[in-house]
Amino acid sequence: MVLRERDKVLLCLALALFGVAYALAFGSEPVSLGRAVSDTGSLDHRLLATVRLPRVVLAVVIGAGLGATGAALQALLRNALAEPYVLGVSGGSAFAATVALLFGAGGAAVSAAPVTTLAAFVGGLLVTLALLPLLRRFEGKSESVLLVGIVVNASASASITFLKTVVSANKAQELLFWLTGFLTVPTWPALLVTALLVGLGILTLVIDARGLDALGLGEASAHSLGISVRGLAARTLVACSLVTAAIVAVSGLIGFVGLLVPHGARLLGIRGTRPTLLASALLGSAVMTVCDGSSRLLFRVVHT
Q: DSSP 3-state assignment of 186?
A: coil
Does the pLDDT value for residue 116 go beyond 50? yes
Tally of domains in the chain: 1
Asked whether residue 209 is domain-assigned, the answer is yes
Question: Between 12 and 111, whose confidence is greater?
Answer: 12
Asked whether residue 236 is domain-assigned, the answer is yes
Tell me the average pLDDT of the chain: 83
Q: Which CATH number belongs to the domain containing residue 220 in this structure?
A: 1.10.3470.10
Dist. CA 61–CA 275, nearest whole Å = 18
Does the pLDDT value for residue 293 go beyond 60? yes
Does the pLDDT value for residue 223 go beyond 90? no
Contact present, 64 and 281 (Cβ < 8 Å): yes
Nearest Cα residue to 240 out of 101, 127, 111? 127
5 confidence band (pLDDT: 50, 70, 90)? confident
Structural domain containing residue 264: 5-298
Asked whether residue 55 is domain-assigned, the answer is yes
Dist. CA 235–CA 20, nearest whole Å = 31
Asked whether residue 304 is domain-assigned, the answer is no
Asked whether residue 112 is domain-assigned, the answer is yes
Asked whether residue 233 is domain-assigned, the answer is yes
Asked whether residue 106 is domain-assigned, the answer is yes
Threshold 0.85, pTM exceeds: yes
Contact present, 128 and 245 (Cβ < 8 Å): yes
pLDDT value for 216: 81
What is the per-residue pLDDT across 30-87, written as a single tens digit (0 to 9) for each? Answer: 777 777 777 677 777 788 878 888 999 999 999 999 999 999 999 988 888 888 888 7
